[in-house]
A and B are shown apart, each in its own frame.
Chain A
Amino acid sequence: MTDGRTTINTLAPLQNVANFLTLTRRLQNRGAGLPGMGCFYGPSGFGKSTAAIYGANSQSACLVQCKSVWTQKKLCQEILKELGLVPAKVIADMVDQIAEALALEDVPLIIDEADVLVNKKMVEVVRDIYESSLVPVILIGEELMPQKLRKWERLHGRILSWVAAEPCDEQDFDLLVGIRCQGIELEPDLKARMAKASNGSARRIVENLELAREIAATHGLARVTMRDWGKREFFTGATPDARRFVA
Chain B
Amino acid sequence: MTWTPKQIATREYAWQKAVDRGEFTYAQLSADAGIDVKYASALTREWEEEGRVQRVNFVRGRRVTMRVVKDSKGNEARLRVDGSLIRKGCPLQNMWRSMRLLPIFSAADIAMHANTDGTEVSEDMAKEYCRRLAAAGYLRVEVKAQPGKRSALYRLIRNSGPKAPMIRRVLAVQDQNNDELTVLQGRVA
Contacts and interface: CB of A to CB of B under 8 A. Distances in A.
B116 interface: yes
Given A10-B116, A57-B98, 18 more contacts: A9-B115, A9-B122, A10-B112, A11-B112, A11-B113, A50-B113, A54-B113, A57-B114, A57-B119, A58-B89, A60-B87, A63-B101, A65-B101, A84-B161, A84-B163, A179-B108, A179-B112, A214-B149
Given A58-B89, A65-B101, A214-B149, A10 B161 contact: no
A12 interface: yes
A53 interface: yes
A155 interface: no
Most buried by A among B89, B94, B112, B118: B112
Given A9-B123, A57-B119, A83 B89 contact: no
Contact of B116 (A49, A50, A54, A214): A54
Interface of B: 87, 89, 93-94, 97-98, 101-102, 108, 111-119, 122-123, 148-150, 161-163
A81 B93 CA distance: 15
Given A81-B162, A84-B161, A84-B162, A53 B115 contact: no
A10 B115 CA distance: 6
Interface size grouping (class) on chain A:
20 to 34
A56 interface: yes
B94 A57 contact: yes
Contacts of B98: 53, 57
A147 interface: no
A218 B149 contact: yes
Contacts of A12: 116-117
B113 A53 contact: yes
B117 A58 contact: yes
Contacts of A9: 111-112, 115, 122-123
A135 to B, nearest CB: 14
B99 to A, nearest CB: 10
A177 to B, nearest CB: 13
B111 A60 contact: no
B149 A58 contact: no
A217 interface: yes
Contacts of B116: 10, 12, 54, 57-58
A10 B102 CA distance: 17
Interface of A: 9-12, 49-50, 53-54, 56-58, 60, 63, 65, 81-84, 179-180, 214, 217-218
Most buried by B among A54, A81, A83, A218: A54
A81 B160 CA distance: 10
Nearest to A50: B113
A159 B138 CA distance: 39
A53 B150 contact: no
Contact of B97 (A63, A84, A214, A217): A63
Nearest to A82: B162
A179 B115 CA distance: 11
Contacts of B102: 53
B97 A10 contact: no
